[in-house]
Chains A and B, each alone.
Chain A
Amino acid sequence: MRPSRPARAGQYLALLAYLVFLAFPFLWLISTAFKPPRELASLHPTWIPKDPTLANFRQAFDEQPLLRAAVNSVIVAVCAALIAVVIATPMAYVMARHRSALSRAATGWVVVSQAFPFVLLIIPLFLILKNLHLINSLPGLTMVYVVWSLPFALWMLVGYVRAVPPELEEAAAVDGAGKLRTLVSVTAPLLTPGLVATALFAFITAWNEFFFALVLMKTPERQTLPVILTHFLGAEGVADLGPLAAAAFLATLPSLVIFALIQRRLTGGMLTGAVKS
């Protein structure tokens, strides 16, 4: 069925409108990040900076402990991602291959956990972590992020395990390999791309997270990037636009790059999770 010419034109127009809607805030962010103060103060802002400058980036690092925050974010996100994948993989394996009350309960938890209002979780977590002296500590935040990224990690991993034919494991068993041996030497290598995608996703989740970090991290030298970014907004919302844009732009880059790498896999994982559960 070939659409008529006006219909085609309409379709392209709609596509164009969507592309503009999607792109224009981001282009504006980039443009603002490279504008000198004079142009930022201009009453008639322009799309493309006439006099592009890196001064905003320098100023952003001067105004807030951005580097420290980026290091904190990297530490927390890398640790959370690695731990989450290491502990989620065996569980996902069981969920994918065993029919039991346990794996059904785990699947149910994965669904329900998507619906938590975090406020119900954060108050008790705050009290528990406080008793453990883990408030304002990177390990404390890491622990929270591990558990927070587990549902989705499990969802993705269960899908990847299912994609590995059980026949391969049978063959290994016939050859006399034990269960753990089979898992490590047969299943795990086939899972590697899935494990990497899941770890990267968990990394982004932690890198982008704001609410838990806002509540749990009290001092600027322990705060993660998203929390530090809000400091640029100032007390009355009077922000220094250039450095604000520059810092926000920098904080986005890692997520964008990683996301571009794993986007296809993620879509698959999300859908098996959302639809097949």
Chain B
Amino acid sequence: MTLATATTRTGKRVPGPPGGGRPADRGAAWFLVLPALIPILVLSVGPLLYGIALAFTDSQAGRTAPTQWVGALNFQDLLHDTLFWDSFRIGLLWAVGVTVPQFLLALGLALLLNQNLRFRWLARALAIIPWAMPEVVVGIMWRLVYNPDAGILNETIRDLGLGDGRDWLTGLATALPAVIVVGIWAGMPQTTVALLAGLQNTSPELHEAAALDGAGAWGRFRAVTWPALRPVALAITALNFIWNFNSFALVYVLTNGGPGGRTRLPMLFAYEEAFRYGQFGYAAAMGCVMVAVISVILAFYLVGRLKGGDEQ
């Protein structure tokens, strides 16, 4: 896909020594690819297939009896595991709860930063913080903010006379929303920067032409900005959803799945199943179900892209 665009963009095939399919060149290509290909196959593709295979076994940590095939038994068990489906539901809730507001906020912000505003450099400079921070530190930092006694959030609430504040991360009702806010915070800059770069695809001439035709701000956005932004928006939203659905460290540090499992994302659940209870086969089956969901999302994304291609 990438390669196709690369060659058609310039309208000619990449010429010279790199191009072509002479046997010597193909041999050289393999020689150049192998140093990366072998580790990828051994430590990534291989384990992934092994992981899928494990889902059909009774593999457990530290068991002396040999591992056996159990067919779809793990999946049958999963079907009846209400705790897993709870975590799955929470995972979807969290992924949507982070991705959607994050996209809308980032879109607004990107449009804002695309304007000629003073201090927008400051926004860009500060955006580095959430982006570069280790997730563990983001989690720790927000625990300090949410801290019931010594945290700044409750203190601000007290100062504003809005009450005594709460124990955000341990309250049954507040834990998930509190964690979602952190998720939004952590991913905002990346989304904003991606959308901002997408905005630079829109041509000012088109904007002016649309304005001359009497289009308002919303009309101009729909007719000019959005069509140009659409590919970036789709890509970043699909990736954000997948990353969020698979996320672990942030919530592990913030709540470790608590209170009462209210923030137990599927990854946390599978991690505990595998590395606390040693149920490798069962946890692998959970991973497979997660992959299935993600594949559906990816399919939607690809369909969306193809459609976008037709329109143009």
Contact = CB atoms under 8 A, between A and B. Distances in A.
Interface of A: 1, 3, 11-12, 14-15, 18-19, 21-26, 28-29, 32, 40-45, 47, 86-88, 90-91, 93-100, 102-104, 106-107, 109, 113-128, 143-144, 146-147, 150, 154, 158, 162, 166-167, 169-170, 172-173, 179-180, 182, 204, 207-208, 210-211, 214-215, 225-226, 229-230, 232-233, 237, 239, 241, 244-245, 248-249, 251-252, 255-256, 258-260, 263, 267, 270-271, 274-277
B85 interface: no
25 contacts: A14-B112, A15-B123, A18-B123, A22-B126, A90-B31, A91-B32, A95-B2, A98-B19, A100-B29, A104-B1, A120-B48, A127-B59, A208-B132, A208-B133, A208-B134, A210-B134, A210-B135, A226-B136, A226-B137, A229-B134, A229-B140, A259-B132, A267-B193, A270-B193, A274-B194
| Highest count of chain B CB atoms <10 Å: which of A144, A173, A241 | A241
Interface of B: 1-7, 14-19, 21, 25-26, 28-33, 35-37, 39-40, 43-48, 50-52, 54, 59, 108-109, 112-113, 115, 117, 119-120, 122-123, 125-137, 140-145, 147, 149-152, 155, 158, 185, 188-190, 193-194, 197-198, 207-208, 211, 231-232, 235-236, 239, 242-243, 245-246, 248-249, 252-253, 256, 266-267, 270-271, 274-275, 280, 283-284, 286-288, 290-291, 294-295, 298
A126 to B, nearest CB: 8
Nearest to B126: A22
Contacts of B54: 123-124
Given A22-B188, A115-B242, A147-B43, A271 B194 contact: yes
A248 B140 CA distance: 7
Nearest to B286: A119
B155 A45 contact: yes
Contacts of B132: 204, 208, 252, 255-256, 258-260
B152 A87 contact: no
Contact of A170 (B6, B17, B46, B208): B17
A259 B133 CA distance: 9
Contacts of B286: 119
Contact of B33 (A32, A94, A173): A94
Contacts of A170: 15-17
B16 A115 contact: no
A205 to B, nearest CB: 10
Contact of B290 (A119, A166, A245): A119
Contacts of B291: 115-117, 120
B185 A25 contact: yes
Given A91-B37, A97-B18, A119-B271, A275 B231 contact: yes
Contacts, number: 322
Contact of B43 (A45, A125, A169): A125
Contacts of A270: 190, 193-194
Given A100-B21, A210-B248, A19 B126 contact: yes
Given A23-B126, A147-B40, A179-B28, A252 B294 contact: no
A215 B275 contact: yes
A170 B66 CA distance: 58
B112 A150 contact: no
A258 B69 CA distance: 48
Q: Which 4 A-B pairs have the closest CB atoms?
A: A120-B287, A97-B18, A259-B132, A170-B16
Contacts of B39: 87, 143, 146-147, 150
Given A15-B119, A172-B17, A245-B144, 8 more contacts: A15-B120, A19-B123, A25-B144, A98-B25, A107-B1, A215-B275, A274-B239, A277-B1
Nearest to B29: A94
From A12, A40, A43, A267, name the one whose CB has the most chain B CB atoms within 10 angstroms: A267
Given A97-B19, A123-B287, A271-B197, A118 B134 contact: no
A115 B235 CA distance: 13
B107 to A, nearest CB: 12
B48 A116 contact: yes
Contact of A158 (B2, B36, B232, B267): B2
Given A116-B246, A252-B132, A271-B232, A276 B5 contact: yes
Given A22-B188, A123-B274, A210-B249, A248 B141 contact: yes
A207 B152 CA distance: 28
A18 B5 CA distance: 37
B137 A252 contact: yes
Contacts of B125: 260
A45 B150 contact: yes
A40 B144 CA distance: 11
B43 A91 contact: no
A180 B283 CA distance: 46
- Between A24, A124, A241, A251, the greatest number of chain B beta carbons within 10 A of the residue's beta carbon is seen for A124
Contact of B128 (A28, A147, A263): A263
Given A94-B33, A120-B48, A179-B17, A29 B249 contact: no
